[in-house]
Amino acid sequence: MAEVFRLLTVDDATEYHRVLVDGYAANKEFPISFEATDFTLQQSIDWVKEQPTYGLYVDDQLVSSISLRMPWIGKGTIKGFPHIGHFVTAPQHKGKGYAKKTLAYTEDLLRTVYRTPVVTLGTAAQHPWLQDMYKNMGFVEFKRTQLKGKKHITIFFEKNLI
């Protein structure tokens, strides 16, 4: 089984879009509003162009992806450090440890290439298992807030990378 973790390009956007939409589809069952849940293909193309987005490929198939919102791109980030977004695993590959591997590759990249001591992410307080998953991955909650236009309370987490 060959594994490759790499930066996605526009050529990967269609496959990324499929993983994103399929992976986020279950969120429609909960009172949450993740924008990526309803992304169009064009939005996925634009996202990959604008945000560093990485994918874990297993046997040439994208199984998990993660994006990094950088503090110097667009609207910035909550604490001035890179912020994880669109962290998703294709439904048919859940439970195989690919999310943990994707995060481990990302953390190594953040430490060695971007040289950042901290990474943040946000999730919905109403999601039934994401909070526990992030806590188990070493993230610590630092803020809860109701963001404008969201159905849910957002919990912000951070993780020390040094």
The reply to whether 141 falls in a domain is: no
Residues 6, 106: Cα–Cα separation, whole Å = 10
The reply to whether 152 falls in a domain is: no
Residues 23, 127: Cα–Cα separation, whole Å = 14
The reply to whether 154 falls in a domain is: no
Q: For residue 75, what pLDDT is reported?
A: 73
Owning domain of residue 102: 3-116
What are the backbone dihedrals phi and psi of residue 133, each rounded to the nearest 5 degrees, phi first?
-60, -45
The reply to whether 103 falls in a domain is: yes
Count CA within 13 A, CB hemisphere, residue 36.
24
pTM for the full model?
A: 0.92
The reply to whether 148 falls in a domain is: no
What are the backbone dihedrals phi and psi of residue 114, each rounded to the nearest 5 degrees, phi first?
-85, -15
The reply to whether 121 falls in a domain is: no
Q: For residue 33, what pLDDT is reported?
A: 73
Q: What is the mean pLDDT of each run of 10 residues along the chain (162 residues)?
A: 95 97 86 81 96 97 96 83 95 96 97 96 86 94 84 90 94
The reply to whether 68 falls in a domain is: yes
Number of domains in the chain: 1
